[in-house]
Amino acid sequence: MKMLSKIAASILMLMNTQVRAEWTTLTVAADGSGTHASVQAAVDSIPDGSADPVLINIKPGTYKDRIKIERGKPAITIKGLGAAPSDTVLTFDLNAKSVVAPSTQPVGTSGSASVTLTAKNLTIENATFENSAGDNGQAVALKTQGDRGVFRNCRFIGWQDTLLVDDGRQLFENCYIEGRVDFIFGRSTAVFDRCTIRSKNGGYVTAARTKPESKFGYVFLDCNLIGDDKPVPTYLGRPWQWDRGSNAAVVFIRTKMGPHIRAEGWHPWDAKNTSPQDNTRYSEYASTDAEGKPLDISKRVAWSNQLTAEQAAEYTVLNVLKGEDNWDPTSAK
């Protein structure tokens, strides 16, 4: 019996060793104490097409670099090692009008991104994504087009067009997002779970460009919308590129909304968008004021919708993001 126990223990130890050996761990440190001095250098060292997952630990610091994690990379988990996400900052300072040599043309909105992600199966925790160009037009902090992306305890800092979620499925869990105009925008199916979303000096929180065939667009669960100390009127959203066939889908479930949110809630894209009911799917359920008291929604635009409890129950992290492959983002590590 003792011999069998020893054999079983040896097998278990071997299995655990093999599981650990599958992971490659890299460390980024600006002071040279890690395996790489920049996040991009760490990413570039990872072979395309590898089946083995990679963990990139980032030591506290501010890393000014344009970062790209492109299709073909394996599953990557990135973790900031600071006590808070503000300790690890990934930043750059381009806006849509910036020109980067050798090109003589402006980079455009999507090209202004400090961090661009097109790879699948990325998990990022405890870090800040920033565009430090200031209030000078479109300037993206993070652009993500990779499917099955998870962001936990992260911060996204910018002004106009802070967060471009432009394809695939993403989960933002316990994150902080701030901006002014259309600062959460794009075509993704994305869930924002228990996030704090700060509007600076008015504007629009969302500018969804949901594909008409997508059942879900942006889903905000138990979030908190905050504004400036002196509230500046802010809309929940407007439908981006409605005239190109998009059908903006945005739902707020059990969301606290500060006094900066306009009573009408939503707004057409522009004066030409005369029939927003034809290109929007805007809904709420159990919205409250900043103190958690039921919000007066009597003045909401007629082309928005209030969900029933039964309808709202459909909007869970798993149900919204599972897709055809039954992805469970809560298990992503």
Q: Is 106 in contact with 97 (CB distance < 8 Å)?
A: yes
Q: Where are the alpha helices (DSSP H) in the chain?
A: 2-21, 39-44, 108-111, 309-312, 317-321
CA distances from 241 to 96, 185, 208 (A): 17, 11, 9
For 48-86, the DSSP string reads TT--S-EEEEE-SEEEES-EEE-TT---EEEEE-SSSGG
Catalytic residue among 147, 166, 182, 193: 182
Known catalytic residue: 161?
A: yes
Backbone angles phi, psi at 232, to 5 degrees: -115, 125
Contact residues for 255 (Cβ-Cβ < 8 A; gap 6+): 220, 222, 223, 224, 225, 284, 287, 288
Known catalytic residue: 182?
A: yes
Catalytic residue among 147, 161, 166, 193: 161
- Show which residues are catalytic: 161, 182
